[in-house]
């Protein structure tokens, strides 16, 4: 089973993903937690540079990179699915669709980028207000406070994201 935790920036996806994993493990259910983008991979490092303003890409390129980041983890996802009852995704292909639409890209094209990846069985959308989102500090998987990235700083873009998720 694949469970995806989705939502805008600082909605609590990381917190809820970790809490869900802890809960399932207490129930003796094998789980594996994935974070997307995964900044440890070669493509993920390019995405991080873009989000930090160190690289410039047109929207089509960054969304191709975001999809490629999931594809480069495909073998690990498949192997983990065989070993674990539940895979928890802190963001997955749904984020690329929502953010791509907010960037003015076509839905069919965005969907084609992830066609063939394992499908989510359950998507949990965390919906917080703009005020709440901007009052929270971004954190990485290790709990380290991070600077807001290109998307997280832009309140107008964040409002678009919220509307599309709804």
H or E stretch including 160?
A: helix 155-165
Q: At what angle do helices 155-165 and 93-102 cross, to 10 degrees?
A: 120
User: Which of the residue ranges 8-12, 62-66, 126-130, 142-146 would you say has the lowest mean pLDDT?
Assistant: 142-146
Q: What is the 3-state secondary structure (H, E, C) of 63-81?
A: HHHHHHHHHCCHHHHHHHH
CATH of 2-165, one of 3.40.50.2300, 3.40.50.300, 2.40.128.20, 2.40.50.100: 3.40.50.300
31-35 and 122-126: which strand pairing? unpaired
Average pLDDT across the chain, whole number: 88
Q: Can you give the pTM of this predicted structure?
A: 0.82
To 5 degrees, how large is the angle CA 86–CA 88–CA 94? 125
Which residues on neighbouring strands pair with residue 4, listed in sequence order?
89, 123
pLDDT of amino acid 136: 47
Distance CA 143, CA 75 (A): 27
Q: Encode pLDDT of 20-51 as tens digits.
A: 999 999 999 999 999 999 999 999 999 999 99
**Nearest CA to 117 among 81, 164, 159, 163?**
81
Q: Is the peptide bond before 127 cis (omega within 30 degrees of 0)?
A: no
């Amino acid at each position: 089973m694949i469970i995806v935790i989705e939502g805008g920036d600082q909605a609590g996806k990381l917190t809820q993903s970790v809490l869900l994993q802890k809960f399932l493990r207490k129930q003796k259910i094998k789980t594996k937690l994935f974070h997307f983008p995964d900044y440890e991979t070669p493509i993920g490092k390019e995405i991080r540079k873009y989000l930090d303003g160190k690289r410039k890409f047109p929207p089509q390129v960054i969304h191709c990179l975001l999809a490629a980041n999931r594809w480069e983890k495909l073998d690990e996802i498949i192997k983990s699915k065989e070993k674990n009852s539940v895979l928890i995704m802190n963001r997955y292909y749904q984020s690329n669709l929502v953010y791509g639409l907010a960037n003015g890209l076509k839905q069919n094209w965005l969907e084609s980028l992830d066609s063939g990846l394992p499908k989510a069985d359950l998507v949990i959308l965390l919906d917080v207000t703009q005020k709440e989102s901007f009052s929270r500090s971004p954190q990485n998987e290790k709990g380290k406070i991070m600077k807001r990235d290109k998307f997280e700083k832009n309140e107008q873009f964040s409002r678009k994201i919220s509307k599309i998720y709804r």
